[in-house]
Amino acid sequence: MNSDNKKPNIFVRIWRFYIDGFRSMTLGKTLWTIILIKLFVMFFIIKLFFFPNILNRDYDNDADRAKAVAANLLNK
């Protein structure tokens, strides 16, 4: 506790709660590592190969891109 008997900020208490919990984990650290690796693969690797930036590829400037998006939205 502080010398003036004030509670720490709520965010500081939440941060300390999670840090203490992660320090005492054994199996949890391995599971979190696997989760983070899977998220990296899903959001970065798969995006690079399966979701190309078609607007940048097909149009030269922002005005043409905006017209293409508007036409696509209105004609659907």
Residue type, 69: V
pLDDT band at 68 (very low <50, low <70, confident <90, very high): very high
Residue 68: CB atoms within 10 Å: 14
Contact between 22 and 29 (Cβ < 8 Å): yes
Q: In the numeric block, which tokens belong to residue 73? A: 């939205």
Q: What is the pLDDT of residues 1-59, one digit of tens each?
A: 555 678 889 999 999 998 888 888 888 889 989 999 999 999 988 888 888 888 999 99
Predicted confidence at residue 3, as pLDDT, reads: 56
CA 46/CA 21 separation, integer angstroms: 32
CA 33/CA 41 separation, integer angstroms: 12
